[in-house]
Amino acid sequence: MPTDLLRRAYDPAEFRQLGHALIDRLADYLEGVESRPANPYATPDKSLEHFRQLLADGPAPERVFAEVIDHSVHLHHPAYLGHQVVPPAPLSALSDVAASLLNTGMAIFEMGRAGTAMERVVVERFAELLELAPTAGGFLTSGGSLANLTALLAARAVHGEPVRPCLLVNEHAHYCVERAVRIMGWGDAGIIHVPTDAHLRMRTEVIDGILADARAAGRTPVAIVGSACTTATGTYDPISALADVAERHGLWLHIDGAHGGAIRLDPGRRHLVDGLERADSLALDFHKMLMTPAITTGLFFRRGPDAYRIFRQRADYLLAAADDGWSDIARRSFECTKRMLSLRIFTLLTTYGPQLFVDYVTRVGDLGETLARLVRQSPDLELFTHPDVNIVCFRFRHASLDEESRNGLNGLIRARLTEAGQTYIVQTTIDGSLYLRCTLTNAFTTEDHLRAMVEEVSRTGREMLALRSTIGH
């Protein structure tokens, strides 16, 4: 017989009480999030000490939830301008409660009937919205890194067992592409970084020569990986030009659209991904630009059956049949016990329709334009480049600063803002130069919020520059 403790842990009445209380707390949190700091600062050691003590106290769930909220970065705060993770739409987050409680694995249809059917519907609908090829298919998986690896495994499978394989990629592409090459055992020479122009777009005119050199060195080029967009700066590679090269040389074209592939939904910026339908595969993170909790990634193939080229193991306890039926997702995805990722997206589609995603992508792109304009208007700041979408890189400048001093000062500015916690921005280094970096993910951020951040950066830079001058004298 179950013990009393087990009965309590599964008690519907207690679950109802705790669930209602948590939803009320989270709704109150959303209503009052601007009264909090966007990024409550704490060191790793202090955080560890705090939660060790919390465990020792053995508090009620209400206090645990409250402490987690208080000690977390607040993505729903309009002054959150940090990393590439969206503030999820509340309904999408609520869907996770249902998915977590049901906990149906997604390897085979009989375990995940609802999730499997919804996943196919979601993939079909977004293939239409993104205007991919009519033959497109795919599935959802756990993150862009895994999606990119899976796509490259498909590229290798299409080429058989190539001798000394390699791929070409933007020198500023996400590190997971290099990691995928290492996982596949291609070695350091298995990844060739294509040089970029001043805006960090791949220089497609040099690729023919790079391919010739690779073949002369005994390598077998297999794929080109385009970025839509690069992580650091939000810059888009020219997809149509890459598709021309890939077709000319018989290469697989994969587009890492984890962050910016969704820009296809924005009527004013869709040109940035012209040619997307020509890619052999596409990775798209719904948790970066499409309002779902992390991690939710779509992997699309121009030819749907290509998804079955990768994992063909037989597992009699689970995958006894050898056919490629669409309903057993473990035949295509790396995961076996996968979350019901589709519910997060399906509920948004059924409740609000696809226009919600169009509105969101357009809004955050417009915010990128707004921030770029404010930076240009500030005499203390300079942009790295005009943003393609919602990632903006800029820095504090002064004629008296050499490059090393400028880097140090901007790093200190970012550290000061992080400790203050009222806004949250991050940083990146581009060709040895440190830039402050903002990703506009909150549709409710306003020009006033952005202006306040820009003014704080400028003020902090001037104060530190004055202090430096005083100490120097």
Last residue of a domain, one of 352, 375, 405: 352
DSSP 8-state code for residue 390: S
- My answer on whether 448 and 473 are in the same domain is yes
- My answer on whether 283 and 363 are in the same domain is no
pLDDT tens-digit series, residues 303-352: 999 988 887 655 444 455 555 578 888 788 888 888 999 999 999 999 99
- Strand 220-227 to strand 191-194: parallel, antiparallel, or no bridges (unpaired)? unpaired
Last residue of a domain, one of 352, 372, 391: 352
SS3 85: coil
pLDDT tens-digit series, residues 82-107: 999 999 999 999 999 999 999 998 87
**Is residue 2 included in any domain, yes or no?**
no
DSSP per-residue codes, 400-462: T--HHHHHHHHHHHHHHHHHH-SSB-EEEEETTEEEEEEE---TT--HHHHHHHHHHHHHHHH
- My answer on whether 359 and 423 are in the same domain is yes
| pLDDT confidence bin for 464, thresholds 50/70/90 | very high
- My answer on whether 329 and 410 are in the same domain is no
- My answer on whether 168 and 300 are in the same domain is yes
Rounded CA separation 389/392 (Å) = 8
- My answer on whether 305 and 435 are in the same domain is no
Look up residue 371 and give its two tokens: 């921030």
Look up residue 312 and give its two tokens: 């063909």
DSSP per-residue codes, 140-190: EES-HHHHHHHHHHHHHHHT-S-SSEEEEEETTS-HHHHHHHHHTT--GGG
* Entry pTM: 0.95
Q: Which whole-number Å values give the CA distances from 27 to 24, 32, 59, 140, 161, in the listed order? A: 5, 9, 22, 29, 54
- My answer on whether 311 and 398 are in the same domain is no
Query: For residue 142, is it left (φ>0), alpha (ψ between -120 and 50) or beta?
Result: beta
Q: How many domains does the chain have?
A: 2
- My answer on whether 330 and 399 are in the same domain is no
Report the CATH number at residue 46: 3.90.1150.170
pLDDT tens-digit series, residues 143-166: 999 999 999 999 999 998 899 999
Query: For residue 103, is it left (φ>0), alpha (ψ between -120 and 50) or beta?
Result: left
Q: What is the extent of the structural domain holding 53?
A: 10-89+354-473
- My answer on whether 360 and 346 are in the same domain is no
pLDDT tens-digit series, residues 339-395: 999 999 999 999 999 999 999 999 999 999 999 999 999 999 999 999 999 999 999
- My answer on whether 383 and 281 are in the same domain is no
- My answer on whether 341 and 403 are in the same domain is no
Burial bucket for residue 461 (CB in 10 Å: 0-12, 13-18, 19+): buried
DSSP 8-state code for residue 319: B
Count Cα atoms within 13 angstroms, Cβ side, for 38.
23
- Partner residues linked to 315 by β-bridges: 319
- Whether the Cβ atoms of residue 404 and residue 362 lie closer than 8 Å to each other: no
pLDDT tens-digit series, residues 419-456: 999 999 999 999 999 999 999 999 999 999 999 999 99
- My answer on whether 324 and 194 are in the same domain is yes
Cα-only R_g, the chain = 24
**Is residue 96 included in any domain, yes or no?**
no
